[in-house]
Each structure stands twice: as C-alpha cells, then as structure tokens.
Amino acid sequence: MQHDAPDAGGTSTQASASPPGPLRGMRSFYFAGFAAIGIHAPYFPLWLEAHGFRGVSMSLIAALSPALSAVAPPLIGALSDARGGRGSLLSVVCGLAALAMSALALAEASGVARTFVVVFACVFVYASCRAPIILLADRIALESSGDYGRRRLWGSVGFLLGALGFGHLCPPEYARWLPGAVALALWSAFCVSLRLPRASRAPARGHLTGALRRLGRQPRMVFLLLGSSSFSFSHASYDLCGSLAFRDLGASSHTIGLLWATGVVAEVLLLARATQLLQAVPAERLLVASYAIGALRWLGMSALPSAEIGFLLQPLHGVSFGLVWISSLEVLRRASGPSALGGAQGVFMAANSAGGTLGILTFGPLYAASGATGVYQLAALAACGAVLLSSLAVVRRASTSAA
C-alpha cells in the first residue's frame, strides 16, 4: 500500500509550528511585491514591442522569468529549509530585484533600452529573484498563524491596483516609465521585508534531493507536477499574449488594465473563501476542476470577437490562477511536511517554470504567425492535458486509500 508523506495537520493551507499572534507586515509585503508584478506582467510585452523586440527576441527575454524559476526557487527553497533564514533571504532577493529594475530604468533614461544585451541582463537578474520572492513570502505566511488565503489576497489587491494604476496613469507614450514604476514598488517591498521575522522556524536538515525523493515516492505527486507543468504551458499564452490580443482587438492601455483587474478581483474574492473551499473539497479535485475551467477560458479567448467580450471571460482568472495556486500549495503542504516545504515549493515552481518557459518560447512566434486564435487553441489543448494528468492523480490517491 502506498502512503502519503506525514501530513502537517489541518485541512487548510496553514503549517504547524506557527508563532503565536498575527504576522506584522506580511499583508503590506504582499501588497507592494505584487503591485510590482501587476505593473510588470500586463505591460512588459508591450514595453518590449515598443522598444523593437518582437517575435523570437521578445520570447527570449520574456522566457527568462519562467526559465530561471526552474532553477532559483528549488535552490532558495532548499536553503530556507537548511538555514531557516526566511526573512533575511527575502530581503536579499527583493533588494536584488529592485536593483535590476532600477538599472533598467537608468538604461531607459540613457537611451540604451533598445539594446538586447542590456535589457536581457537586467531582466535576467530580476527574473532570478521574482519567483523566490513569492516562494519565501508564502513560506513565511504558511508558517505563521492566521488564514493564508486572506493574507495572500492582499497580493492580488496590490496586483490589481498596480495594473489599474499604471494603465490609467501611463498611456502608451509614457510606457518608458514602466521599469522605474516596478523598481519603486520593489523598493517598497524591500523596506517592508526588513520588518519580517529573520527566521520563521528552527532550521531543518532538509535538502532539495530529499524533497525530490519524498515527492517521487508518491506517484500521484508525479502526475500532479506533470499536470501543473502542462497547465503552466497553457497559462503562458495569457502572460505573454493576453495584452497583445486585447490590444489587437482595439483595447486601449487603460482598457487592458481594466481587463487584467477584472480577473484579479475574481481572484481576490476566491482567495477570501479559499480555506472554506479546501475544507469542503480535496485539493486534488479542486485542481482538476480548475484546469477544466482554464481550458474553457482559453477556448473562449481563441474565438474572442472583441476586447469588451473579454470582460465576460476574465473572472475565470480567479479559478485558473487563484484556485490553482492555493490548491497546489495545499497538496504540497500535506505531501512534504513542514520541514521540507521549501524544497517542495521549489520543485513545484520548477515544474511550473519548465512548462511556462516552453509556452513562452512557443507562443511568441506562434502569435506572430497566426495571432490569438492559434495561440489559445493550443493553450486549450495543453490545459486538457493537465486535466487528464491531475485526474490520474485523483484516481491514484483513491486507489491507494482503498488499499
């Protein structure tokens, strides 16, 4: 009979060994950190295009974030397991990301932001730090008392206001301000990170190889990681081509910000009820349903007649991103146990990044060749693959439980 790794306890995304009382500064950090992502994610492809990067060159730069997320999070996660210095590591990676975007802002001001090597180097450093920032913030929040979903929703609020604010205040002719705006938000997050605990719990002896072995001994986890990678491939269609598709349908930068914001509002509302959902439905089953809804979202995007109709599809982002994320963290928490959670998070992010990198490298040239229709039809097929793989994980768990 196949057994799961020891459960960390409970049915919601809260880890054991939590310090008493509320965690000061966590909501503010989520808000500022995700405001930076909210400014960057919707508009960076447009910034790249405006600076002469299209097709392959755009994909190579945009692929840095998912590609480096396959390397940095496992290493940082294992380091956080071994040393326990969550807050200190968070300040380091957040500061480096802020420095990288500040350098890109200086490149913009000095007129060298059209140089591929300069942009690639700045984005390389930023991309190396972006996923570890999320990993370490989630680790600190999961190890503390309180409702993780209600804390994490402040990240979604920050993303929402970042996307809306930049879209409203910075029309296309002011797109050059994007690196500076991202840097300002990251420096704010860095300042808040200095107030967070330097070490959330006692160091563990966990290593990345140990996390890999623990997850690998659970066949259902292999299916879930493969499903997560397949869905991340599909979601890259939105990250890279969503704003481009809306723009080509006639949307202004302000409307694009509203479209992204609509999805994030749905995400906030869902995160506020995430704990209750996870108590009512097993996390693996929520993943299957979320991936299926994601497939429907991409199918709708492939046949979108106008940007305005996109407002009807965007609420599905709450499921295809928010519910997918929090359900995945719950599966990892229960499968890894508290001492190896950082390494398990790193493996999960690496699987996501592998799929996302392949997606960005695929969808950039595909969009240039066939537009949104071809991109989102392929994304829908990949999401269906994620449904199949995660369904196999559910079946596997049911069979081992029965045994």
| Span of 108-117, 192-201, 250-259, 362-371 with lowest mean pLDDT | 192-201
Which residue's entry shows tokens 């269906």? 384
Distances (CA, A) of 100 to 73, 94, 159, 186: 18, 10, 20, 10
pLDDT in tens, 212-226: 566 556 677 788 889
Chain centre to alpha carbon of residue 116: 25
- Residue 131 in this model has a pLDDT that exceeds 80: yes
- Which tokens sit at 399? 């069979």
Handedness of CA 112, 116, 121, 122 (dihedral sign): positive
pLDDT in tens, 258-310: 898 898 889 888 888 888 888 888 888 899 999 999 999 999 999 999 999 99
pLDDT score recorded for residue 46: 81
48 with 113: CB under 8 angstroms?
A: no
- Residue 3 in this model has a pLDDT that exceeds 60: no
- Residue 154 in this model has a pLDDT that exceeds 70: yes
Query: 26-402: CATH homologous superfamily?
Result: MFS general substrate transporter like domains (1.20.1250.20)
pLDDT score recorded for residue 237: 94
16 with 230: CB under 8 angstroms?
A: no
370 with 245: CB under 8 angstroms?
A: no
Q: Is the pTM of this model over 0.85?
A: no
